[in-house]
Homo-oligomer: A and B are copies of this chain.
């Protein structure tokens, strides 16, 4: 009678029965409420209790959506802001393709450039063409508003989260990544002279080219760093500010300013690789050697890390793994509301050594 539980009990999908149990009503009452049927009257109280229970349990409201298992078109869409049009982030597409390839499904990738009218037209166009499911992604990790049209198909959020409680999302574990960076420096003997490079001036969010969307990465990386340093009985010696975007030139000028300020860092945690490369340039200009005079670690794990000597140690964005997992979740039909955090591995370069003072 209902397309909602769809035999998903085996893989953790919340069933109508569970919602009914929690709400203290009959299973059919739940079905009536959640299917929006009006041919049987239920009290407002009952309706409210059902809706609350469904929400608390994370019951998926994608009620009309066929799961991919039963989908017939064999086509999935990746709808994102800029994943397909920016370098590096598009390795997420590769991850998605890998999972779809295993399932013999085809992928259409569309970029909205962050324009909501274009997004609506693209979603309509895709839904009208019977895509079996949609991966809704973002070029960098941020909070998105889920477009209503998206709810016409099963969907998974890729590299973004939503404030809605009913979505399945896959993002990098940025908090753990921050701890990884701090721990790498602590392990090498750094303690009280670790600086972070890449916070924004008050009011700025970075990403002028990206609608000024605020990256989740900054706050979460800092949180992880603070936690790890605190556990080791220390804290950041300071946070160097960057004017707007996280690019090489801004990294260079930020670190040049830091060095000129009289600060005595033993190590720099740079918010991304481009800023890390800029740090190298500022250190070189100041006659300081990496890692002998200063250790450097960054985030992203992009090709920039091997463009410099010594190669830059970086906590790596797991783009392919994110894409793979998002596609797997979509294909499996297990779009249980949950945020999946994918580990960010440490890619070792040669930019970390013991601090000068302890030698």
Residues of A within 8 A of B (CB): 74-75, 84-88, 90-91, 93-94, 97, 101, 106-111, 113, 118, 121-122, 125, 129, 248-249, 274, 277, 281, 284, 303-304, 306-309
Instruction: Tell me if A87 and B309 are in contact (CB < 8 A).
Output: no
Which residues of B sit under 8 angstroms from A88, Cβ to Cβ? Answer: 87
- Of B86, B97, B125, the residue contacting A106 (CB under 8 A) is B125
- With CB as the reference atom, state the residue of chain B lying closest to A111: B97
Instruction: Tell me if B85 and A87 are in contact (CB < 8 A).
Output: no
- Of B94, B101, B306, the residue contacting A248 (CB under 8 A) is B306
Instruction: Tell me if B111 and A106 are in contact (CB < 8 A).
Output: no
- Of B75, B93, B122, the residue contacting A125 (CB under 8 A) is B75
Instruction: Tell me if A122 and B106 are in contact (CB < 8 A).
Output: yes
> What is the total number of copies of this protein in its complex?
2
Instruction: Tell me if B306 and A303 are in contact (CB < 8 A).
Output: no
Listed by A's residue number, 18 A-B pairs whose Cβ atoms lie within 8 Å are A75-B125, A84-B84, A84-B109, A85-B91, A87-B87, A87-B88, A87-B91, A87-B303, A90-B90, A97-B111, A101-B118, A106-B110, A108-B108, A109-B109, A129-B129, A248-B307, A304-B307, A308-B308
Which residues of B sit under 8 angstroms from A101, Cβ to Cβ? Answer: 113, 118
